[in-house]
Structure 1
Amino acid sequence: MSDNAPQRGPLRHLRVLDLADAVGEAAARLLSDLGAETIKVEPAQGAPTRSEAPLHDGHSLPYLVRNAGKQIGTGLADDELDRLLAGADIAFCSPASGLGLEADALRARHPRLVVVDSSPFGRSGPRAGWQATPNTLLALSGSLSRSGRPGDAPLLPPAGIAQASAATQMAYAALIAHVQRLRSDAGQLVDIAHLEAVATGLDPAYGVQGSAAAGRSGKIRRDRPPADSYPIYPCADGAVRLCLLSPRQWAGMFEWLGRPAEFADPKFASIAARVAASDRLDALIVAHFRERTGAELVEQAASLGVPLAQVLSLGEALDSPHFLATGAIGEVELAPGLSSRLPVGFADIDGARLGIDGGPRALRTALWPPRDDSRAPRGAGASGELPLSGVRVLDLGVIVFGAEIGRALADFGADVIKVESQAFPDGLRQTRNGESMNASFAWGQRNKRSLGLDLRSEEGKAVFRELARHSDVVLSNFKPGTLTSLGIDHATLSAINPRIIVVESAAFSSRGPWARRLGYGPLVRAACGISSLWKYRAGETECWDGVTVYPDHVAAKAGALCVLAALLDREQSGHGVRIELAQSEVVLHQLAAFAAQESLAPGSVRPQGNRDRELFGDLFPADGDDEWCLIEARTPDELAALAGVIGWAGTAIGPSDELHAAVAAWARSLPPQEAMEKLQAAGVPAAAMQRLDQIAHDPQLIHRASYRPMTHPALEHTLPAENSSAAFSALPDLPMRPAPVAGEHTAEVLGDVLGWDEQRIAALLAAGVAHARQPNR
């Protein structure tokens, strides 16, 4: 192992070669953050990503951040590269790397290697050769259709989150393939399409909550939906975001406002009633907030159980005492003489922060010794089994994050047992008419079993602890301290089962000044600085990220990635770990390049709007009702091709208001799909803005089988559902078992996991310690 290899982290035995594009670089960095020894190989002239903006003192900050902690080998001879490949576990490659390497050739020469091929649209299909930018991926994925002011143009989210979300999906898929390699002693090819990864991982059309309801009904708005549930209000020193959902939270707000008589009617415990009276209610809140500072308001809100967060700029978030106290932000030397404050990681394992510890480093070795393979996670069996078969997970997770982290493991074969309380049901189970199932729950809880158990009772806690004795992983996303108060925290469970892995996730970590704050996605985004960038222009108070589910889905996949790493490490160490992951820190991690820029040039990171994120570009109205086409040019050649397609008669071809107006007139004359096809045929990045109900009919996603039908006996209609966010060359078909009704598998779980007989189980049910599916439900 080289002198620069990481000496800590659960993946310290893993060897990764980065021969990839920007998304592959970011994915490889995630594995490096978790301890993998990672080498980036570049052509003699350097990787194309070295020139990516923003630049500082001639350095590309995104390049430095994506490759932090890696060794860099430039211009290696073929035999040197081949020796590295022979010793590697995972290789990320891409046609855009500049190395001229083909994934198929790498697999042929090294059949035990996991090769991850990174490209915008995948290796085959009608759009495999199309051009793409992160913004065109957002347009095609459906995410853009939900972003922005109702009645206005859609608004591109802040730069970076599309690539970072795709990279998280890619890293997880790579590690899944590695686990399968340890089972079968054979590598495989993982074909990652950035479009598919963004469509299924950022704000999914057919996923849990938020967009799920729109994706199911087919009643898609023609413009952006209102963000009534997460309003932003001015205060004495900026703005705050309020999130009132439950009756208990409204009760706290009613008390805080001085119990106004006009809102004393119990009907205002309903969100719908408050929205109907929003003009009058907003006037009271504005008057209540405007003379107080954001910090004062947040402190007062917390004492009343009212979810509230300051809308911070990125610079303010980087300076926050909370993120500094948790270790989420640190000073890092990215290059000699170039130090920056930036997010260093998003997870703690046994109290140690994992992540960036320095910038890219020169390659010290061009030879890895032969592999000393670790064993697969417990339960590894025949090569025809799914990678996680034999792994048992006790899933206490709730709402979006809680659903998705367990599903990520269940989809690949883990036995995920959702532990449910009859008194405090998962909010995802809520339905208007008391139905036993809804589409959102069906998407997020497929492939799981349900155990009804009262964890408030001492006997229920004892049952859980006994289940933990026979399990591998416990997942939770309660407020900090909940597992300890229940007597099922990592310290307690590890005394029973030293191999147990416990995940605790919260909005803002269990440490630091914000540890006890209530956190929903919109509040997390506000406090991390991303909402302040989600604007049409600087200086506006309102942010337009209110209806997205981000970061729940991508944070859940990051959590599942940590679980895989811990399972692999356990086979070397023999013991489990406690993983703590804060969703706010996942958001900051995805903004790391812009955090570096803001640290080096305070005030330079501002809302970008839609126009000219590349050399030239914008979101242009197209023919039709609220139809749009995203058109960009990254190079002079692409700009010249764009001018040719639209018949530009100007003498000079360059970014200008005149060219912009000409492109706008041309786009307005065509349906967006036709404009997109014409421009892509000429090699110009362009994308029609797709709505959520269009995603399952996208020809490229159809070719890749990104979605497949999902049925549930309690639902009337068949639903499109995510198949997989990657194409694996040597993986069995993934299961699609229906999500359970509450308590559906209680007797089954207690019988097959604990070996209890029917009489003992019946006694637990009669005592109310356990509960089972109700008849006719």
Structure 2
Amino acid sequence: MKHDELPLVDETYQAKDGKPLCGLRVIDLMPDAMAGIARHFAELGADVVRIEPAAGGPDRRAGRIVAGVSVDFVAANLGKRSATPDQIARLARDADIVVTPRGGVDHGALRAENPALVILTVSDFGDTGQFANWIGSDAVFHALSGELSRSGAPNRQPLLPPGELAIAVAVVQAVYVALLAYWNRLRTGYGDCLDFSILDGATQALDPGYGIGGSAAGGVLASKLPRGRPDVSFMYPIYPCTDGFIRLCVLAPRQWQNMFEWMGRPEAFASPEFNKMQVRFASPTLMSAMAAHFAGRSLSQALAEAAEYGVPAAAVLSLSDALKSEQIVARRSFLPVRLADGVSALFPDGVMEIDRRRMGIAGPPPALPQSDIAWRDRPQMVQAPALGDRLFSGLKVLDFGVIVVGAETGRLLADQGADVIKVESSSFPDGSRQSRSTGPISPTFATGHRNRRSIGINLRDPRGKDVIYQLIRETDVVLSNFKGGTLQSLGLDYATLRAINPAIIVVDSSAFGPTGPWAQRMGYGPLVRASAGLTMQWRYPGEPESFADAMTVYPDHVAARIGAIGVISLLIRRLKTGGGGEVSVSQAEVMLGQMAPMVATEALEHAGHRVSSKPGRSAVYAAAGDDEWCVVSIRDAADEARVAAVTGGQDLAVWIGERSPRECMEVLQAACVPAAAMLRVSELPAFDYYTQRGFFRQSRHPHISEVLTMEADPVRAERLPSPPDLPAPLFAEHTSAVLRERLNLPESEIETLLASGAIEEVKPPTPVQA
């Protein structure tokens, strides 16, 4: 079915019932893009009431405009209703969550009337320290999160990523922490006040420099990267074909052997040493030989042959072509929304599926505020069990996930007290365990897999499979992120697991979703970015082959948070129904969903409608020093005047070039102009903002000599405990302990299983000295 044949979302559209957060009541005071926080709650079934003046908020008339309607407003507010400010106190008495900018509500008064209320206060830099009144922008958040320092070509100006990715991922982090506080309220009866910083959210959820890295990083932390933007194009190379570009992800030895076979087994690359990524990456001739291999092929021919030979590959599509791809159309990833008479545009129909139903658009954008609005009826809310001091104490999780999405989803649950067991096999090792170091565990694996345990099980052995099935009976949540069909081939699909344990919650995160013609495609993040139209946008202007997204691990971390949001939502539903459910996340749809205003604009312009561009601009300027840079965002004429006052009329680029980026940042921020120095990942822990927020903490791992820097709390809160500090596991370190504890297996049976190879266990080496 084509996009133009889909049902139109207009005033008659009705949200589907049975969504997991049905009955949740959310008051939304957020303007602009951060209004998307409450939109996520609406998509999951919550009743969301937006508060704005009787004539409508300014964001209704801001951003990209078509036929008098703001595309940005629609993208952030689908499915909400609207009420006037005088109703806040009345509505808050029976509300569950309030999402507000700093100063938007009287926290004390609202909580005095409703002690169970969760108040999420959103600001650019949080409520603490000297940065509380600084002004952010997407470019500023990229600069101060360390992301900008990794975007662009070596010896070139750093390149601002396309769209508003930093703000988009911060929206998802805000939803995640608000749901944590709400789950804690169900456990304890008490609400919370959350001090949420957009910069915190961007640093945590885009590509955290002190979190888990991709397999091609070889276990090296981003803080150890050389100064400047390293040349990493060889990791996920892009080659021109006769009519387009193709991207490859040749990482594992098997994948290289398939590529070697496809190239005709050239003698120059026949050495077994080329099975090692480091050897291939260092070869001075391999890249040019691969480029020659594609030079005479059409894109369709190259993709067909890649599939035939088993080489992970994807076309580098434009955004327009991505929207028209057979996968996106087949999955109905977007719905047309009526904006005005004769004007409709495509908007994402949610970023996850639950029980194979889209958690998508809950209705049209809100009409102008009602003067006397009432909450919808809701089912009785059920208290959650409080089994320990932490939010998810007592929650048992089996984690089959690999690389970044797998690591991050499990960590988010483990950090809140869940007992997360990583299921591993020496026959199919997790790529994130590979390391350029000689130690038993890499620093990036250690930071990304804290607070969980590891067991080794051969899932191809019937006895190993039986052990897994026994564990499933005692498990609450199963995590996975394989390509479509993998769980079924292992006998671990949701239908099978539900038959064993009807209360099981299963998360399946994949590149393109569980259905559709691309469901079984290999889905590394770089291939997803290419297929979703992001890679094509991530280029220097006017330089068609200057692709610059290879260093960024996206959308893995934010997709993991969406998976965790799905888990918490189903835990809430399970309190009422007793049954589990299935969460499916398409990483391509996550990415496209975070470009919603751009997608809508693309569709509108393709249909012949004129859309005014979003006002304002951001740019990167060279500052004094070696590879030192400062970003400045000019929002309007008032910012132009402020800049002129600061520079005395001097050209801004010249003014910045004579000063350090820190001085430029501080002077411009003092004048209320969004500006930021570009920080490298290695500079983040010592930067005053992060120290004042307590954003990082130091940790030791028994098998790593260096002290590790890790993310601390997911948000500043009154009642959420800090994550524990248990070391990441070595491979199959806890097999016997878990089977004794979870299944009460006797030692004799464990020894028999070990001897047969059905399970594995590795005795840890002697810890290093502190």
Identify the residue that residue 320 of structure 1 maps to in structure 2: 325
- Partner SS, residue 247 of structure 2: strand
Counterpart pick for 1:457 among 445, 461, 465:
461
How far is 1:298 from its partner?
A: 1.6
Q: Distance in 1 between matches of 2:165 and 2:184?
A: 29
Identify the residue that residue 682 of structure 1 maps to in structure 2: 671
Identify the residue that residue 270 of structure 1 maps to in structure 2: 276
Contact 1:150 1:226 in 2 (8 A): no
Q: Distance in 2 between matches of 1:52 and 1:698?
A: 34
Matched, 1:730 2:719: yes
Contact 1:394 1:475 in 2 (8 A): yes
Matches for 1:453-602 after TM superposition, within 5 Å: 453-538=457-542, 540-602=544-606
Deviates more, 1:118-127 or 1:235-244: 235-244
Residue deviations 1:458-488 (CA, integer Å, cap 9, x gap): 1111111111111111001122112211112
Considering only aligned residues, what root-mean-square deviation do their CA atoms show, in Å? Answer: 2.3
Shift in alpha-carbon separation, 1:410–1:563, aligned structure 2, 3 A: same
Residue deviations 1:383-421 (CA, integer Å, cap 9, x gap): xx2111111110000111100001011111111111111
Matches for 1:127-146 after TM superposition, within 5 Å: 127-146=131-150
Matched, 1:642 2:643: yes
Q: Percent identity?
A: 43
Q: Distance in 2 between matches of 1:420 and 1:282?
A: 33
How far is 1:287 from its partner?
A: 3.3
* Letter paired with 1:273: V
How far is 1:614 from its partner?
A: 5.5
- Partner SS, residue 150 of structure 1: coil
Deviates more, 1:365-374 or 1:185-194: 365-374
Q: Distance in 2 between matches of 1:739 and 1:776?
A: 14
How far is 1:434 from its partner?
A: 4.6
How far is 1:160 from its partner?
A: 1.8
- Partner SS, residue 428 of structure 2: coil
- Partner SS, residue 507 of structure 2: strand
How far is 1:166 from its partner?
A: 0.1
Contact 1:5 1:37 in 2 (8 A): no
- Partner SS, residue 340 of structure 1: strand
Identify the residue that residue 249 of structure 1 maps to in structure 2: 255
Contact 1:131 1:683 in 2 (8 A): yes
Contact 2:140 2:675 in 1 (8 A): yes
Residue deviations 1:406-439 (CA, integer Å, cap 9, x gap): 1011111111111111222211111235522111
Identify the residue that residue 627 of structure 1 maps to in structure 2: 628
Extract unaligned runs of 5+ from structure 1: 606-611, 650-661
Deviates more, 1:319-328 or 1:681-690: 319-328
Q: Distance in 2 between matches of 1:125 and 1:225?
A: 37
Contact 2:243 2:298 in 1 (8 A): yes
Contact 2:539 2:546 in 1 (8 A): yes
Contact 2:135 2:674 in 1 (8 A): yes
* Letter paired with 1:107: R
Q: Distance in 1 between matches of 2:238 and 2:290?
A: 10
Q: Distance in 2 between matches of 1:249 and 1:272?
A: 14
Matched, 1:759 2:748: yes
How far is 1:3 from its partner?
A: 11
Deviates more, 1:706-715 or 1:210-219: 210-219
Deviates more, 1:327-336 or 1:194-203: 327-336
How far is 1:265 from its partner?
A: 2.5
How far is 1:616 from its partner?
A: 4.8
Matched, 1:700 2:689: yes
Deviates more, 1:468-477 or 1:425-434: 425-434
Q: Distance in 2 between matches of 1:696 and 1:214?
A: 17
Deviates more, 1:187-196 or 1:728-737: 728-737
Identify the residue that residue 714 of structure 1 maps to in structure 2: 703
Contact 2:210 2:710 in 1 (8 A): yes
Q: Distance in 2 between matches of 1:317 and 1:105?
A: 49
Q: Distance in 2 between matches of 1:285 and 1:53?
A: 44
Runs of 4+ in 1 over 6 A off after TM superposition: 2-5
Deviates more, 1:492-501 or 1:218-227: 218-227
How far is 1:200 from its partner?
A: 1.4
How far is 1:588 from its partner?
A: 0.9
Q: Distance in 1 between matches of 2:157 and 2:218?
A: 22
Extract unaligned runs of 5+ from structure 2: 1-11
Residue deviations 1:609-633 (CA, integer Å, cap 9, x gap): xxx9863542110011100001122
Shift in alpha-carbon separation, 1:289–1:105, aligned structure 2, 3 A: farther
How far is 1:762 from its partner?
A: 2.5
Matches for 1:24-423 after TM superposition, within 5 Å: 24-73=34-83, 75-76=84-85, 78=86, 80-95=87-102, 100-210=104-214, 215=221, 218=224, 220-278=226-284, 280-334=285-339, 337-362=342-367, 366-368=373-375, 373-377=380-384, 379-381=385-387, 385-423=389-427
- Partner SS, residue 93 of structure 2: helix
Q: How high is the TM-score relative to the length of structure 2?
A: 0.93
* Letter paired with 1:706: F
Contact 1:6 1:12 in 2 (8 A): no
Q: Distance in 1 between matches of 2:494 and 2:146?
A: 39
Q: Distance in 2 between matches of 1:157 and 1:593?
A: 16
How far is 1:380 from its partner?
A: 2.7
Shift in alpha-carbon separation, 1:369–1:49, aligned structure 2, 3 A: closer
Q: Distance in 2 between matches of 1:436 and 1:17?
A: 49
How far is 1:360 from its partner?
A: 1.0
Residue deviations 1:690-731 (CA, integer Å, cap 9, x gap): 000011112111111111111100010111100123111112
Residue deviations 1:196-253 (CA, integer Å, cap 9, x gap): 1111110111011157956466453234443221121112222111121112111111
- Partner SS, residue 696 of structure 1: coil
Q: Distance in 1 between matches of 2:434 and 2:221?
A: 18
* Letter paired with 1:632: S
Contact 2:424 2:430 in 1 (8 A): yes
Contact 2:222 2:681 in 1 (8 A): no
Contact 1:216 1:439 in 2 (8 A): no
Q: Distance in 2 between matches of 1:310 and 1:603?
A: 25
Contact 2:26 2:95 in 1 (8 A): yes
Identify the residue that residue 7 of structure 2 maps to in structure 1: none
Contact 2:630 2:677 in 1 (8 A): yes
Q: Distance in 1 between matches of 2:268 and 2:603?
A: 48
How far is 1:336 from its partner?
A: 5.6
Shift in alpha-carbon separation, 1:617–1:474, aligned structure 2, 3 A: closer
- Partner SS, residue 585 of structure 2: strand
How far is 1:441 from its partner?
A: 1.0
Q: Distance in 2 between matches of 1:711 and 1:201?
A: 23
* Letter paired with 2:274: F
Identify the residue that residue 12 of structure 1 maps to in structure 2: 22
Identify the residue that residue 6 of structure 2 maps to in structure 1: none
- Partner SS, residue 721 of structure 1: strand
Q: Distance in 1 between matches of 2:38 and 2:273?
A: 52
Shift in alpha-carbon separation, 1:109–1:220, aligned structure 2, 3 A: farther
Q: Distance in 2 between matches of 1:206 and 1:670?
A: 29
- Partner SS, residue 738 of structure 2: helix
How far is 1:159 from its partner?
A: 1.8
